[in-house]
Amino acid sequence: MMKVIITDDEIQIRKGLRMKVDWEEEGFQIVAEASDGQEALELLRSMDVDVVITDMRMPIMNGIELAKHCHEQFPKVKVIVLSGYSDFEYVRGSMKEGVKDYLLKPVAPDELVEVLGKIRAEVEDEKRKQAESARLHQLVHTQLQQVQEQYLLHLVKEEWLQLNIVIDRLCQLQLENLAAENAAVQFVTVEIRERDGGANRLKELWLPFQMLCKEIAKEHTGTYSFYDPSYAFVVHFLYLVDSRGLDSVSSLVEKIQQNVKTFLNLETAIGIGNAVTGLAELKNGYISSLLSWSQSQLGSKSQVIDATVMKEELFKFSPDLEKRLTNAIENVNFEAFKQNIHNALGNTEDQSILSFSFVANRVLFLLGSLARKYDAETKDIQNTMWSCQQSIWGLNSQRKVIEQLIQLAQSIIEKVRLTRFSNGKLIIDNVRHYLDQHYASEISLTSLSELFHINSAYLSETFKNYVGQNFSDYLVNLRMDKAQQFLKDKELKIIDVANLVGFSNSGYFSTVFKKHFGQTPVEFRNSINTAE
């Protein structure tokens, strides 16, 4: 029901207007009456109103003055002015001053019904447009959040290209605060748990939990939430540490626990990771958070485990070891991988359980990244990865963990071996899959050849033979197709679309787009609007 205030200095006129039509049948409800414009304004300040029907001539404040104030203070309120014939031209000339419509006195019921119908249709149309605008705004915001979340997950789990490419992409995604050289971050891992152990209720509340986490992150500057599909009912927060230090992490954790309890009636198991500095340390910070969370007690009791009390030297995984393990897999050298794993994890006398678990997790993440890179995530490999993860969290199965990591590496090496001897077909499939996932990054033929350990000239020739177009044309086509999809969202700025598909300069993006489609991004968007 649309809400109406009737304003007239004569009570009999107000009563007469009430009786002229069946207000509820027309979709309206009279919520108040006023005897002058000033009184009507006071009512508008205290209640939600859609329509004001007011007489022209009143003491203190007349109808035109009321309409002007409504236009300035309550622009969504529609004002209908009642006037005698002598005031007709004056009222009609005031339409631009906030008067939506007017009726001559005495008011005929059918004319009142007609005007109310027009007002109702207009308000409903405005509300539909507002809802659509809000939906599009939320859609755009969600799209940006989704791309940000995907990239954050990529940073903490996948193999990177050059650091400068990572920094450029962070800036494009409005995450430039993470790209600062001395940026310090902490990860917080949050799992929701049901008191009665009811998995079905957790499934029902999983989406509301994610949305709640996004809202909490938005309220804390420099905080982002994302989730890793490898862990059920778990959301991770990345918190940019500033001068406020650890107290702010504590307040974030407290806010998470309180909101989840209040709004979802769920318990939480939360792990706080070590603070790390620089992009190169993100994986270490992420795994320290997971490691804290893994030490939570079973059951539904809310709890917080803080890794910051652990010694930082426990969480070391050298770039040299990472490179040696990667080269062993990609060079199909199973014996070299086993030797490096035993050197890193086999000497149980010189490392703690936590240190072992940390390094084992880094190796597992590395193997997972290589499996995805070579499209080797078969069901058997996924099961092995999950079993290995469970063994690592168990903190008492070191020998089993090493065996599972070696088994997993052997399966991936076999997939890499098949790829190497497929006359280029499988390697090109893997390259295309990589491009489909990372089309917005600054990718060159040289960087791809280094990433997949093959000669760049051979990659260029083989790519064209199997795909039917050269690498650069394929990448541009991919970016342009994605750009068309983003441009359909009317609330998204052209520069935002450019950034989302990997262009830092909107002018250059527009040039490439026009060359590709024969029209600029703006013209393309306008053609969509015209068609609609």
365-420 tens-digit pLDDT:
999 999 988 888 888 888 889 889 888 887 667 889 999 999 999 999 998 988 88
The predicted pLDDT at position 88 comes to: 61
Name the domain boundary from 248, 281, 311.
311
Q: Cα(108)–Cα(20) distance, rounded to whole angstroms?
A: 8
- Look at residue 478 and tell me if it is in a domain: yes
Q: Nearest Cα to 187, choosing from 283, 263, 331?
A: 283
Q: d(Cα 291, Cα 273) in Å, to the nearest integer?
A: 8
Tell me, yes or no, whether 134 lies in a domain.
Answer: no
CATH number, domain of 19, equals 3.40.50.2300
Q: How far is residue 279's CA from residue 276's CA, in Å, rounded to a whole number?
A: 9
Residue with tokens 């992490």: 249
Residue 505 lies in a domain: yes
Per-residue pLDDT tens digits for 445-476 = 888 888 888 889 999 999 999 999 999 999 99
Shared-domain flag, residues 44 and 178? no
Return the SS3 of 510: helix
Residue 400 domain boundaries: 319-420
Is the domain of 391 the same as that of 325?
A: yes
CA distance 457 to 309: 51
Instruction: Answer yes or no: is pLDDT of 337 > 80.
Output: yes
Least confident of 133-142, 288-297, 313-322: 133-142
372 vs 160: CA distance, rounded Å: 13
Helix axes 246-259, 199-219, angle to 10 degrees: 140
For 320, 365, 400, the CA distances from 345, given in Å and listed in that order, are 15, 15, 11
> How far, rounded to the nearest angstrom, does the alpha carbon of residue 481 sit from its chain's CA centroid?
21
Over residues 148-179, the pLDDT tens digits come to 899 999 999 888 877 888 898 898 888 999 98
Q: What confidence tens digit (pLDDT) does each residue in 59-111 have?
A: 889 888 898 888 889 988 999 988 876 666 666 666 656 677 878 888 889 98
Say whether pLDDT at 503 is over 70: yes
Of 311, 341, 371, which residue is a domain's last? 311
Q: Does 50 lie in the same domain as 121?
A: yes
Domain shared by 295 and 238, yes or no: yes
What type of residue sits at position 406? I
Same domain for 193 and 228?
yes
State whether 237 and 303 are in the same domain. yes
Supply φ then ψ for residue 25, to 5 degrees: -65, -30
**Residue 137 placed within a domain:** no
Is there a single domain that holds both residue 194 and residue 124? no
Task: Indicate whether 186 and 294 sit together in one domain.
Answer: yes
Q: Token pair for residue 391? A: 């063994």
Strands 303-306 and 267-272: parallel
Q: Are 64 and 56 in contact (CB under 8 A)?
A: yes
Residue 249 phi, psi dihedral angles, 5° rounding: -65, -40
Within 13 A of 123's CA, how many CA atoms are on the CB side? 21
| Alpha carbons 232 and 485: distance in angstroms, whole number | 30
Question: Which residue matches tokens 């070391």?
Answer: 316
- The CATH number of the domain where 286 resides is what? 3.30.70.270
Instruction: Supply the CATH number for residue 484's domain.
Output: 1.10.10.60
Task: Give percent of the chain with pLDDT exceeding 90.
Answer: 40
Q: Average pLDDT of 490-499?
A: 85
The verdict on 13 and 118 lying in the same domain is yes
Q: Which residues contact 77 (CB under 8 A, 6 or more apart)?
A: 44, 49, 50, 51, 52, 70
Report the first-to-last Cα separation within the chain, whole angstroms: 30
If one counts the domains in the chain, the total is 4
Residue 154 maps to a domain: no
Question: Can you tell me the distance from the alpha carbon of 508 to that of 487, in angstroms, rounded to the nearest whole number?
Answer: 16
Do 265 and 326 share a domain, yes or no?
no
Whole-number pLDDT of residue 364 = 94
Whether 143 is covered by a domain: the verdict is no
Residues 9 and 117 in one domain: yes
- Does residue 213 belong to any structural domain of this protein? yes
Any domain includes 368: yes
Q: Which one of 274, 295, 311 terminates a domain?
A: 311
The answer on 167 and 290 residing in a single domain is yes
CA distances in angstroms from 112 to 11, 35, 53, 108, listed in the order given: 19, 20, 10, 6
